[in-house]
Amino acid sequence: MKRSWGALVLKAMGGRDFRLTVLDSERVSNTLHRLHVDGGGLLTAVDVHPTMWIRLWFDNGGRPHQRAYTLVDPDPTTGRFHLEFALHDGCAARWAGSAAPGDTIHATLQGSAFTLPDPTPSHLYVVGDSSSLPAVNSLLDAVGDLPATIWLEYATDDEKGLTHRTRTGQEVVWVPRLDDGRHLVETVQAALPVAVDGAYHWVACEAGTTRAVARHLRRGLGVPRHQISALGYWNAR
């Protein structure tokens, strides 16, 4: 597939390219498909961090199209990891649903960066959805038994069956997607306490929802920027 000007820009910004190879393919649910892949040297070339993501390049009717995906359970000793795809009408979902062992795809690592807060937070507040659940799980794995409250937005009942890796002292609240995400924002606003010293807030869901929650944290609750990580994972428009 011919690479786009976007790929050239990412390369100029320090992006590193890898070729992934599909090892196994699994339909997890009506809304989720999982691939097991070999990273083509990715996991030995860079240090793995929680919530780490890469950009995959797809053929969309003869035009290159890129989407970002979180590395699920990356294993540097084998160089392998999983990728999870939401099933909908799109070139990425179509490719994942038909991918077979031996198939390959180009990936670019550029833009993914996250460091756990130091000192360790007193409490972790997470706002996400099914698209960011792999990143949420990697974050929960990294913080261990740290007390946490997690709000996860779901669009279908199937999504409520997806696995979350909470431990004792960590609470998950499933919130239906209503009013273009405003219901999630209002639910979080009503539940979040005033700014707590030492707490950390990680927000990753639909872009507009992410902005609204982050704005409430900063302006409504006065949470310092260094206690917030916010990234829009997809765009409803």
Q: Could you report the per-residue pLDDT of 115-128, keeping only the tens digit for each?
A: 888 889 999 999 99
Q: Is the pLDDT of residue 29 over 80?
A: yes
- Determine the pLDDT at residue 3: 55
Q: Is the pLDDT of residue 8 over 70?
A: no
Tokens describing residue 191:
């539940």
Query: Greater confidence, 95 or 236?
Result: 95
- Determine the pLDDT at residue 174: 96
Decide yes or no: CATH 2.40.30.10 for domain 5-109.
yes
pLDDT tens, residue by residue, 169-197 = 999 999 999 999 999 999 999 998 776 77
Phi, psi of 90, rounded to the nearest 5 degrees: -165, 160
- Determine the pLDDT at residue 87: 83
CA separation for the pair 104, 206 (Å, rounded): 29
Q: Are the CB atoms for 59 and 1 separated by under 8 Å?
A: yes
Query: Greater confidence, 136 or 29?
Result: 136
- Determine the pLDDT at residue 1: 52
Per-residue confidence band for 61, with pLDDT thresholds at 50, 70 and 90: confident
200: Cα separation from own chain's centroid? 17
Q: Hey, how many other C-beta atoms are within 10 angstroms of the C-beta on 145?
A: 10
Per-residue confidence band for 12, with pLDDT thresholds at 50, 70 and 90: very low
CA separation for the pair 141, 7 (Å, rounded): 32
Comparing CA positions, the residue from 56, 44, 49, 51 lying closest to residue 20 is: 56
Provide mean pLDDT across the span 138-167.
93
Q: Is the pLDDT of residue 11 over 70?
A: no
In the chain, where the domains are located: 5-109, 123-230
- Give the CATH architecture of domain 123-230: 3-Layer(aba) Sandwich (3.40)
Q: Tell me how far CA of residue 46 lies from CA of 10, 16, 94, 221, in angstroms.
A: 17, 10, 29, 37
Tokens describing residue 52:
């780490």
Q: Is the pLDDT of residue 236 over 70?
A: yes
Considering only CA atoms, give the Rg of the chain.
Answer: 18
- Determine the pLDDT at residue 57: 94
Matching residue, tokens 């890129």: 66
Per-residue confidence band for 90, with pLDDT thresholds at 50, 70 and 90: confident
pTM: predicted TM-score of the whole model, two decimal places:
0.87
Q: What mean pLDDT, rounded, does the chain reach?
A: 90
